[in-house]
Structure 1
Amino acid sequence: MEFSKRIALSALSLALLLQQGSGFASEYAEILNTPAMQSELAIRNQLVDVTQVGKRLIAVGQRGHIVYSDDLGQTWQQASVPLSADLLAVYFPTSTDGWAVGHSGVVLHSSDAGATWTKQLDGRQVGKVMLDHYSKLSAQQPDNQQLLTLADDAKRLQDEGEDSSFLDVWFENDKVGYIVGTFNLIFRTEDGGQTWAPILEQADNPQGFHLNAINKVGDELYIVGEQGLVLKFDQLSQRFISVPTPYTGTFFGMTGKPGVVLVYGLRGNVYRSTDAGLSWSKIETGLPVSIAAGSVDGAGNIYLLSQAGHVLVSTDDGQSFVLREQEPLAPVAGATATTDNQLVVVGNRGVRQFPVSATR
């Protein structure tokens, strides 16, 4: 589950939200208070992320739609969701507990493998949570200018009722997890989402770039974002420290396996590291379009998918990729390689599946 599975929907929706003016408050409240509409077309509409939980496939997308399949994608059911905000990412650290995040500062939790969901956080609460947290910290450290600035930003967020978007979610287990989003939003929970604490000051992102994706590859937890931003969690300092890269464009996600991490983004740019981000080499994809998603199958083959629907496959740990023939092309937002050797792809045409073809 990586980002540009959500780039088009996220960018367009965020731009529209920011332009809505006086009508925004009522619509904002409406989508947060209106359950997702049950529809037979949910499986064919815009879906943005997909994951596998045991034998179950779960996909999330526009208007709060969450669908799941227990028969390898042959038939789908729609989950019960208490709101209709656009959802951008889903992650399950266990076979039952999972989280989904999206626009309007939404954080949802499921304890039954995605069949039903409850809201843990929304944009009406984000500003207050941040203001309470940073007001307390800045009072304890009055000479810390960063904390004072974060408290001011939180007050403005609360007063103006600005929309907050969470773009990705990752959990270490059923208790400890992170959500990341626009303008350096990063929150952590240690109680399964019952409470969330902002940790913006613990990320080396002074410009406040959007944080597009978070994922653990091997033993390292990474965040990627705008203008070549790559952050890696440092256990000693308990901070997300900046990892220099040779690229200054936007990264949308990362994938890989122990010993290999790949970050990908705009205009087909992919970079590979085998030393936990200390050095990077550019991987030629031959594609001029953005890489939208990535996944690794059970045999260790690495897949990258473009925003236009191209499928790239690597059988040599990401050193090189070949373009797989796959017609017709259709926009891709997210993808996952399943345990039954299928590549499940979601986008504006709902869910599609292809057999994985690469072998080691």
Structure 2
Amino acid sequence: MKPLYSWLLGSLLIGHACGVAALDSVIAPRADKSLALDIVATGPEQHVAVGERGHVLVSSDDGQSWQQVQVPTRATLTSIAASNGQIIVGGHDGVLLLSNDGGQVWKMVRNEPEQEKPVLDIVFLDQKTAFAVGAYGLYLKTTDGGYRWVEEEHPELEIPEFGFPHFYQLLPLQDGSLLLVGEAGFVARSEDNGDSWTTLPLPYEGSLFAVGQTESGALIVAGMRGNILRSDDLGQNWQTIDIDIRSGLNNIVVDGKEVVITGMDGIILRSIDDGRTFTVKQRPNRKAIAAATLEQEKLLVAAEDGLHVLELPATAQ
């Protein structure tokens, strides 16, 4: 996901009031041109994307064309994760959907509209274990492949005199630990598969929307007003990466030493030196990019204006 978050919060109460989570999605002829919020690769040339009004779309040609499939909700869908043909989607009203056939048929496995806590990120640890995190400290876990979910309480994740932040992204790291980032400069690490957490110091108090880890093990976090920070020691110390933009940054994609960050105002940042420096490109229409995947030197994006294949910024050799 991810945060076009002011839009998400603004539409949350509308979706709740209309009871859209309980209605089947409507097949729309231009669903691939409407607001898309997350995208995931599910196999060679295979992708699934999600967005507003319960839109779920599948592509079998690396994003050149998309087909919408019907799902049992019209809630805005914000996040998606895949593992060996199994796909979990989350969204507003605490909705979680499950597919076991690559995204063609979907089952509603969770719907909690009274909580008013949208799911904002989902991650698999293995075929059976997955987490879903979201607004106001939402923290869910499944150990049966996504059929049943348990909401866990972790008081160590509460910020003193603030409360539980919105959790924006959870990332499994190379050493087997987990990193969680969120609102108000929140960063926490777990070394026991999410059973307990330790918060990490960060010289920044704004929201962090995305996290990635490079081939060398470096951590990159990004968030509001173009802020990017990098750590070489698993989050104990951070260095600010200076870039001349002030747009919110929503998503990080890593391929070896290459790092691509996308965000509001159509911003695309690219690094080929392990996240130390970035070149900047901006979409001509300045439409926000919520999420992206890298495919053969192309960028598949879920954006404010739908699903697109974009060119990467050129880099100095």
Q: So what's the TM-score if we normalise by structure 1? A: 0.81
Which 10-residue stretch deviates more, 72-81 or 53-62? 72-81
Aligned equivalents of 1:256 and 1:316: distance in 2? 13
| Aligned residue in 1 for 2:7 | 9
The structure with the larger Rg is 1
State the Cα distance separating 1:182 from its structure 2 match: 1.3
Amino acid at match of 1:216: P
Q: Is residue 41 of structure 2 the alignment partner of residue 52 of structure 1?
A: yes
| Aligned residue in 2 for 1:200 | 153
C-alpha spacing 1:235/1:93, structure 2 compared with 1 (3 Å): same
| Aligned residue in 1 for 2:243 | 285
Q: Is residue 306 of structure 2 the alignment partner of residue 308 of structure 1?
A: no
**Residues 301, 358 of structure 1: 8 Å contact kept:** no
Higher strand fraction (1 or 2): 2
- 1:20-51 CA-partner distances (Å, limit 9, x unpaired): 8xxx2xx22xx122111011111011100111
Aligned equivalents of 2:127 and 2:303: distance in 1? 28
Amino acid at match of 2:212: T
- 1:208-234 CA-partner distances (Å, limit 9, x unpaired): 111111122433311111110011112
RMSD over aligned Cα, in angstroms? 2.0
Q: Is residue 263 of structure 2 the alignment partner of residue 265 of structure 1?
A: no
Q: Is residue 37 of structure 2 the alignment partner of residue 80 of structure 1?
A: no
**Residues 313, 321 of structure 1: 8 Å contact kept:** yes
Give the 5 Å matches for 1:22-37.
24=17, 27-28=18-19, 31-37=20-26
**Residues 187, 200 of structure 1: 8 Å contact kept:** no
State the Cα distance separating 1:329 from its structure 2 match: 2.8
**Residues 218, 257 of structure 1: 8 Å contact kept:** no
**% identity of equivalent residues:** 27
State the Cα distance separating 1:76 from its structure 2 match: 1.1
| Aligned residue in 2 for 1:40 | 29
Count residues in correspondence.
310
Aligned equivalents of 2:50 and 2:287: distance in 1? 18
**Residues 166, 182 of structure 1: 8 Å contact kept:** yes
Amino acid at match of 1:271: L
Give the 5 Å matches for 1:1-360.
2-4=1-3, 6-14=4-12, 16=14, 24=17, 27-28=18-19, 31-54=20-43, 55-94=45-84, 96-123=85-112, 161-201=114-154, 203-206=156-159, 207-219=163-175, 220-235=177-192, 238-258=195-215, 259-297=217-255, 300-324=257-281, 326-338=283-295, 340-356=296-312
Amino acid at match of 2:102: A
Query: Is the partner of 2:144 in helix, strand or coil?
Result: coil
Gaps of 5+ in 1: 125-160
Aligned equivalents of 1:212 and 1:188: distance in 2? 16
Aligned equivalents of 1:39 and 1:226: distance in 2? 34
Amino acid at match of 1:348: E
Query: Is the partner of 2:72 in helix, strand or coil?
Result: coil
C-alpha spacing 1:326/1:63, structure 2 compared with 1 (3 Å): closer
Aligned equivalents of 1:41 and 1:237: distance in 2? 40
**Residues 203, 231 of structure 1: 8 Å contact kept:** no
**Residues 178, 194 of structure 2: 8 Å contact kept:** no
Aligned equivalents of 1:353 and 1:341: distance in 2? 10
Aligned equivalents of 2:100 and 2:257: distance in 1? 30
Aligned equivalents of 1:273 and 1:3: distance in 2? 22
Which 10-residue stretch deviates more, 233-242 or 99-108? 233-242
Amino acid at match of 2:228: V
C-alpha spacing 1:99/1:237, structure 2 compared with 1 (3 Å): closer
Aligned equivalents of 2:225 and 2:208: distance in 1? 10
Query: Is the partner of 1:239 in helix, strand or coil?
Result: coil
Q: Which structure exhibits the higher relative contact order, with contacts defined as CA atoms closer than 8 Å and separated by 6 or more residues?
A: 1
State the Cα distance separating 1:278 from its structure 2 match: 0.9
Query: Is the partner of 1:115 in helix, strand or coil?
Result: coil
Query: Is the partner of 1:346 in helix, strand or coil?
Result: strand
